[in-house]
Chain A
Amino acid sequence: GNSVTQMEGPVTLSEEAFLTINCTYTATGYPSLFWYVQYPGEGLQLLLKATKADDKGSNKGFEATYRKETTSFHLEKGSVQVSDSAVYFCALKGNTPLVFGKGTRLSVIA
Chain B
Amino acid sequence: DAGITQSPRHKVTETGTPVTLRCHQTENHRYMYWYRQDPGHGLRLIHYSYGVKDTDKGEVSDGYSVSRSKTEDFLLTLESATSSQTSVYFCAISAVWDGGEGQPQHFGDGTRLSIL
Contacts and interface: CB of A to CB of B under 8 A. Distances in A.
Contacts of A82: none
B32 to A, nearest CB: 11
A92 B107 CA distance: 15
Given A43-B108, A43-B110, A97-B58, A102 B41 contact: yes
Interface string A90-108: 0011110110111100000
A35 to B, nearest CB: 10
Contact of B102 (A29, A32, A103): A32
Interface string B27-70: 00000010000001111110010000000001000000000000
A88 B109 CA distance: 16
Given A32-B102, A34-B104, A93-B99, A42 B40 contact: no
A97 B45 contact: yes
Give the bracket for the number of chain B residues in contact with chain A: 20 to 34
Nearest to B48: A97
A17 interface: no
B76 interface: no
Give the bracket for the number of chain A residues in contact with chain B: 20 to 34
Nearest to A34: B104
Contacts of B58: 97
A89 to B, nearest CB: 6
A65 to B, nearest CB: 15
Contact of B107 (A29, A30, A43): A43
Most buried by B among A42, A49, A98, A102: A98
7 contacts: A32-B99, A42-B110, A43-B107, A49-B102, A97-B45, A98-B33, A100-B42
Given A32-B103, A44-B92, A100-B43, 13 more contacts: A31-B99, A31-B100, A32-B100, A44-B43, A44-B90, A45-B107, A46-B106, A49-B104, A93-B105, A97-B45, A97-B58, A98-B99, A100-B42
